[in-house]
Structure 1
Amino acid sequence: MKIERRKLRTAEVYTASLNDIMFFLLLFFLIVSTLVTPATIQVLLPKSKTSSDVVVKKQINLTITADHKYYIEKKEITFEEIEPQLAALVAKKKEKEEMIVLLHADKSLNLQDAVSVIDIGNKLKVKMILFTKKENG
């Protein structure tokens, strides 16, 4: 008498529809998260006639490399062109706009090189900020 063995069946979970379910859950949480406001204190602000007079700060990047090359917004210029270029940018500013020049100077430069550029900014009455790197430790 021959005993026949049953074929072993492996358990299988059909996961093709799980992709759709996960997509809809993700979409649901994205939509809900944009509608939720953070826990803030709700205040009714008073009205003002000058409330639209907000100062907008415009930033200009001025870079000085170690080999004394000057760049305004990634455009290479000479030292003599710094003042006219900045003056042109200051002339273009709107009434409620404040200009700030972000000065990126290489650390190997003389202090006088950076001060010369800052003097140009002072002459044009433009705020200048010298960028530094935070020291670890």
Structure 2
Amino acid sequence: MALKRRNKVNAAFSMSSMTDIVFLLLIFFMVTSTLVAPNALKLLLPQSNTQTAAKPITTISITKDLRYYINDDGQLRRVEFREIEPFLQNR
């Protein structure tokens, strides 16, 4: 009794078709994502009649000698550390 030999199937996998599919999917999702319109409501919001006043800018500078300077409305003046907190609270 003669036994038949089975033909061995080559199990090699070609990655070239996989990269083609991934590339096509990438292009598809990039194109479709730019075509989707955002779902947003256009609202007419009420306008304010009064203007809010902008707070003045105050800059506090500290030198390496631990001297404190406050730039108050363009005027640089030297202050002590204990004067900074009351000054900022009054602003």
Band of TM-score, shorter chain: 0.3 to 0.5
Which is bigger in relative contact order (C-alpha 8 A, separation at least 6)? 1
How does the TM-score come out when normalised to structure 1?
0.29
How does the TM-score come out when normalised to structure 2?
0.39
